[in-house]
């Protein structure tokens, strides 16, 4: 069975999508349609912008979405998924590629999500860090203890065995990094992000996005979509909406998602989007399963 996975924020790079734009008339039409919908030429930033411009959440998220979804569209008959999933932002790309959202609605939703998250980031100085080589339970316990003392920090992305990203206030994340290194983490790497994604600090963005999601028409996708909040397959549009709303403040359960897809018959994983970050994570998850 074929599983298509869609990448999230952080995989962007200068020049992304340019080759696609220049080699496919279909891709070019979709990119130009996106420029129209957004009201600015995002393609100029994607193809020729600086790292700094591309790193802004309001640019990064629609840019990664466009690269991912247009890659799937230009596959034509080769895009025949038995199941799909997307990492964080990639979930909206997956839903769009699978037909639960139209291209226009998917892009509008991503842009609203990006603006809401950027606004939430500006409200409180917050950050994220990757914890390497420590078990999930220890990470959760340390984060819980620090949060109970007044500095918010939570496990945000369960990326693969031995790699969990934590998220929260700058103080909370710094304290957790120290404690987790003391507890045996091989590394605690601060991430170059401007906010605490998938943490309680995204609550204002969640409330804003909830309105946008409830105003958007969702259809039944062409195949099950494994969602971040519960790592389970969904086809019911109402369930998909509820999970997408919850996703902003809930952790991305990527290890469980890929494990469940494998258990449900996924053999080939095809990555849609810039880079190949997901292939590396999937390889580690498969290896932990002995697959």
- What is the secondary structure of 189-219 as a DSSP string? EE-S-SS-TTSGGGHHHHHHHHHHHHTS---
For CA atoms 73, 79, 82, 86, the dihedral sign is negative
Least Cα distance to 244 among 50, 139, 46, 110 occurs for 110
CA gap 54, 231 in Å, rounded: 29
The conformation of residue 252, written as its DSSP 8-state character, comes to B
> Of residues 67, 71, 87, 88, which has the active-site annotation?
88
68 included as an active-site residue? no
87 included as an active-site residue? no
CA gap 149, 17 in Å, rounded: 45
The conformation of residue 12, written as its DSSP 8-state character, comes to -
> Of residues 126, 198, 199, 234, which has the active-site annotation?
198
Structure tokens at 10: 């952080």
DSSP-based three-state secondary structure for 187: strand
Known catalytic residues are: 88, 198
């Amino acid at each position: 069975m074929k599983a298509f996975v869609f990448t999230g924020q952080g995989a962007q790079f200068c020049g992304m999508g340019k080759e696609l734009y220049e080699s496919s008339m279909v891709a070019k039409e979709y990119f130009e349609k996106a420029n129209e919908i957004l009201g600015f030429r995002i393609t100029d930033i994607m193809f020729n912008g600086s790292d700094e411009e591309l790193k802004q959440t309001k640019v990064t998220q629609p840019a990664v979405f466009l690269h991912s979804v247009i890659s799937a569209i230009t596959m034509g008959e080769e895009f025949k998924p038995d199941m799909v999933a997307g990492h964080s932002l990639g979930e909206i790309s997956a839903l769009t590629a699978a037909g639960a959202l139209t291209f226009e609605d998917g892009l509008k939703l991503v842009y609203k999500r990006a603006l809401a998250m950027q606004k939430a980031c500006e409200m409180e100085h917050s950050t994220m860090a990757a914890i390497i080589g420590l078990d999930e339970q220890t990470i959760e316990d340390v984060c819980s203890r620090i949060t109970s003392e007044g500095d918010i920090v939570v496990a945000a992305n369960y990326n693969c065995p031995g790699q969990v990203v934590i998220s929260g206030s700058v103080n909370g994340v710094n304290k957790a990094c120290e404690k987790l290194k003391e507890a045996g983490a091989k590394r605690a790497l601060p991430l170059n992000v401007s906010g605490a994604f998938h943490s309680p600090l995204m609550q204002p963005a969640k409330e804003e996005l909830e309105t946008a999601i409830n105003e958007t028409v969702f259809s039944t996708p062409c195949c099950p979509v494994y969602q971040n909040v519960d790592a389970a397959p969904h086809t019911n549009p109402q369930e998909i909406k509820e999970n997408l709303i919850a996703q902003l403040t809930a952790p991305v359960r990527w290890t469980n998602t890929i494990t469940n897809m494998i258990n449900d018959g996924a053999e080939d994983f095809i990555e849609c989007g810039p880079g190949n970050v997901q292939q590396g994570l999937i390889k580690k998850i498969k290896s932990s399963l002995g697959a």
